[in-house]
Chains A and B, each alone.
Chain A
């Protein structure tokens, strides 16, 4: 064995490029996402996301239906967070038709949306660790808590996942005092879960080694690429629509927006953990301040709503990022143009940038940290 290292390498050659398609059936693409990956050894030299495997024509169907009948379809956009999807859509319709919302409804909306945020983040962290190979334990714990929140959703709206709960001008049904008590009890118990979760993994060396410095996203690129939500804030950009637009009644609550400095997977993971804690703060305040009163504007026509011709863009801070609905009305009972701004999909724009030069295993956790739901990506 004589010769220098360079000679050795020239003997061995750089290795051929292997084209692998990860997905659409792959355990960690969170559904039917696909990445066309070019690998040199295990290093990623090219990555093209391919989607549309769950393109079920949400927009087309909504353009053919009445304004009301689009609400249950929004449940199925980001199927982990039906409440926030509902809110985003009804907010857009409220803007389009100029509908006011009673105060009690606003409070319940906040409670529902923050519970959704909590269970989404808990689930995401679980899935992310699942992608890291943690044989299901964190996911199990996350789902254990998620089930409790889903029980609340079920007793409020009748369904575990597809709540179909909000209406333009308010809500479908009122919550009972008993329900609010249950939320209060749960809110008091959830910090323990977050603590345990952090104990389980926050200081774990393997987790830190795998996530820190992986999938780094600079804040200039994050802004230019329209990345939103916890992912954007992990890159250090202070932009939370709850603070910027103060939609609903978010200006009444005292909460903080966590910001990351590195923009790597660890920061994104921690953003979720920290946001869970902030969410609990909002929940406590909302539960304290909830007034009595009607839950829906009695003047609003749910059936056969005909907004004046025009357009409106309403957006909310969904757990995944900026969820917007763009509606064009032509004065008829169904929207002329119905468009969803899917945060999951737009957050994927820079997936390749984050993954180039990294390992296959990093691709998986980088994708996991983006937090996509294919129902929303493909619509």
Chain B
């Protein structure tokens, strides 16, 4: 730590510096251990806390969308509501169905929570703030993501309940189907960044041309990729309108139908953690991670930017949940295979095209940008229209007009 670095000390690096300071002041043999603990403990504290905030936000936000207040009586403005729920869940009786597979039934929530937490290892939540800077960070994320699928299936299968089985089957089918668009749309980013490391991907986006950041979402393929990614992410995390595995009106509570007490709370928690994680990845890949969109806003600490973006995506999730009805299983699958998958391939193609199109045409950078935009947008919109038509396909889906008898 030289003087220049100390002089450049900003609020941005306050946590990093704090950690270094703490590690430096621990006795040698424990430095590694303390370093690791200081890395993982914030993750394990911050995101569950965010879960509590989000649940409350969701309940109150949905309330407002539905013209009511939402929880507002437990503590000021109802902020203690999540704590009350947690206390209640802790003291509830735990029921395991007699015919269930007890071991798997017990393990499922733990696996789910474990997998959900692991995903945070590679998320850069601020400049120099990533738990593990893996070279294959994106790949690691998806590999861990598969663990959640396994856990959901474990839960549904081990309960030995018909509804939970249906839920598990739906979950597995849905998750594997949407995993492909999820990965493919990230591949476009990987292609353009040339790396699988999440920090490197953010670094590539964190520089500016005329105040505007080089976020991937500001390119046509990036925008399309981001939308596809978020749709797939919604499906991966079983959020409405893709909440079929727990589709209340059809299969009651789906795969966690037989879970009670804190195990159920863990499912709830893990589901939100997954949502944050996958949103975080979306931010990393497309929204420039911790970077600010405009250079003049770069003074705001990087970790604030990350959480602001995360919050924005959470709000979008809640908003969508408050509005849309649920899809049906076959439509969901059709949408994945006949729309999302081809579209994500198109996005890869468009990304390739973006690179190979000349950046300047006749010496003009602006003209080059316009042409690139137009060509790429055309490559994306064309198939979009065709695929959307094909999806509506045999059954014409349309607003109808009606006749009246006098």
B404 within 8 A of A: yes
Q: Is B73 engaged at the interface, CB distance under 8 Å to the other chain?
A: no
Q: Nearest Cβ distance between residue B203 and chain A, in whole angstroms?
A: 39
Contact B402 A259 (CB under 8 A): yes
- How many whole Å from B378's CB to the nearest CB in chain A? 23
In the complex, the answer to whether B331 meets A210 with C-beta atoms within 8 Å is yes
A194-222 interface (Cβ within 8 A of B)? 200-210, 212-213
- In chain A, positions 250-273 with a C-beta closer than 8 Å to chain B are 256-262, 266-267, 270
CA distance A363 to B62 in the complex (A): 27
Could you say which of B49-57, B96-104, B124-132, B316-324 contacts chain A?
B316-324
**Do A362 and B328 form a contact, CB below 8 Å, given A257-B404, A258-B402?**
yes
Structural contact, A133 and B247, CB atoms closer than 8 A: yes
Nearest Cβ in chain A — how far from B271, in angstroms?
Answer: 15
Which chain A residues lie closer than 8 Å to B85 at the CB level? none
Pair B250/A140 contact, Cβ less than 8 Å: no
Select from chain A the residue with minimum beta-carbon distance to B253: A27
Q: What residues of chain B lie closer than 8 Å to A27, measured between beta carbons?
A: 248-249, 252
Mask: chain A, 272-294; 1 = CB below 8 Å from B; 0 = not: 00100000000000000000000
In the complex, residue of chain B having the shortest beta-carbon distance to the beta carbon of A240? B405
A residues contacting the other copy or chain, number (CB 8 A): 52
Say yes or no: is B179 at the interface (Cβ < 8 Å to chain A). no
Which of B321, B322, B323, B327 makes the CB contact (< 8 A) with A209? B327
Q: Are B329 and A270 in contact (CB under 8 A)?
A: no
**B25 on the A face (CB < 8 A):** no
Q: Which of B74-82, B87-95, B306-314, B392-400 contacts A (4 or more CB under 8 A)?
A: B392-400
The closest CB in chain A to the CB of B163 belongs to: A20
Q: A191 on the interface (CB 8 Å rule)?
A: no
Q: A27-B248, A135-B321, A209-B397 are in contact. Are A359 and B402 (CB under 8 A)?
A: no
Partner of B68, one of A130, A140, A200: A140
Tell whether A141 is near chain B: CB-to-CB under 8 Å: yes
Cβ of A131 < 8 Å from any Cβ of B? Answer: yes
Quick check: B248 and A205 within 8 Å, CB to CB?
A: no
Decide yes or no whether A28 CB sits under 8 A from chain B.
Answer: yes
With contacts A202-B399, A256-B405 known, is A134 near B330, CB below 8 A? Answer: no
Asked whether A359 lies within 8 Å of B328 as measured between CB atoms, the reply is yes
27 contacts across the A-B interface (CB closer than 8 A): A27-B248, A27-B249, A39-B166, A129-B325, A131-B249, A133-B248, A133-B326, A135-B62, A135-B240, A136-B62, A137-B66, A137-B323, A200-B323, A206-B327, A210-B325, A210-B327, A210-B331, A212-B397, A212-B398, A258-B404, A259-B402, A259-B404, A261-B403, A266-B400, A270-B400, A361-B247, A361-B328
- Name B's A-contacting residues (CB within 8 A): 62, 65-68, 162-163, 165-166, 169-170, 240-241, 243-244, 247-252, 321-331, 392, 395, 397-400, 402-406
